[in-house]
Structure 1
Amino acid sequence: MFQGFKDFIMRGNVVDLAVGVVIGAAFTGVVTGFTNGFIKPLIQLMGGGKGLEKGTFKINGVPFDWATFINSLITFLITAAVLYFFVVLPLNILAERRRRGEEPPPKAPAEDIVLLTQIRDALVAQSSPTRGYGDTPGRHQQEPPR
């Protein structure tokens, strides 16, 4: 039971996914800190509000914090742009290079393919209806006369 779990965890794609999630969360924290510390105050200054009302408006005494929404939108756009330009685009370029410069197929089939082909041919020869008694697999002879 533990061996199966260990095999699952040690797969490359699971470890890569975990690292990606942790780095993504840390990066989102950095971008959120930047936008909360620098962008949101600028939005509130542009809103012209004073005191506690900057970046908000009230309808029937209920405050609507539009600066936080704009800030979240900017956070999303910065995060998406960085991920696209530093992760997605380089991986797409790498995939395109690999696709253009595909390696030629191997000259001879791999050893395991040859072995599997021999096993397949032997199984086909054993199940062949024209195979005679005492015949070796792979050799087709007519059945002895009756």
Structure 2
Amino acid sequence: MLKGFKEFIMRGNVVDLAVAVVIGAAFGKIVTALVENLITPLVGAIFGAADVSKLWLAKWNGSEFHFGVILQEILNFLFVAAAVYFLIVYPLNKLAERRKRGQEPEPADDPMTTDQQLLTEIRDALRQRS
């Protein structure tokens, strides 16, 4: 029983998952700090109040409807998504495009049709004549 547990724990995908969770938590803190300390104040400086969590609707039977909290969380999500996309995903995609430019495209694995085989043979025969 312990041997099976040891094999399960030492499997590559379990260790990779553990590392991904730890790195993801640390990365989440970086993104949160970036959003809270740079993007949110910047939006607040440009558009006015960056914190809308204090907005609420009228009382009804003693209940207050704090829609501002939901709106603030939606804005926080959009700020985090924008930070991740524009500061990480977009630059990495551009870097990958630059790396691909220098490489030759991989040949297609599609089998050639009869016409293509015939044209290839004709081309090769003409090359041998020259």
* TM-score (structure 1 length as normaliser): 0.46
Where does residue 59 of structure 1 map in the other structure? 57
Q: Which has the higher contact order (CA 8 A, sep 6+)?
A: 2
Where does residue 77 of structure 1 map in the other structure? 82
Aligned-partner Cα distance in 1 for 2:89–2:73: 22
Which ranges in structure 2 are unaligned for 5 or more consecutive residues? 59-63, 108-130
Where does residue 17 of structure 1 map in the other structure? 17
Where does residue 38 of structure 2 map in the other structure? 38
* Higher helix residue share: 2
Determine which structure has more spread, i.e. the larger CA radius of gyration: 1
Aligned-partner Cα distance in 2 for 1:21–1:83: 19
Question: For the aligned residues, what is the CA RMSD?
Answer: 3.5
Equivalent residues, number: 91
Aligned amino acid, residue 44 of structure 1: G
Which ranges in structure 1 are unaligned for 5 or more consecutive residues? 102-146
Aligned amino acid, residue 78 of structure 2: L
**How far 1:84 moved relative to its partner?**
7.5
* TM-score (structure 2 length as normaliser): 0.51
Where does residue 4 of structure 1 map in the other structure? 4
Where does residue 131 of structure 1 map in the other structure? none
For residues 106-145 of structure 1, the aligned pairs below 5 Å read none
Aligned-partner Cα distance in 1 for 2:47–2:72: 8
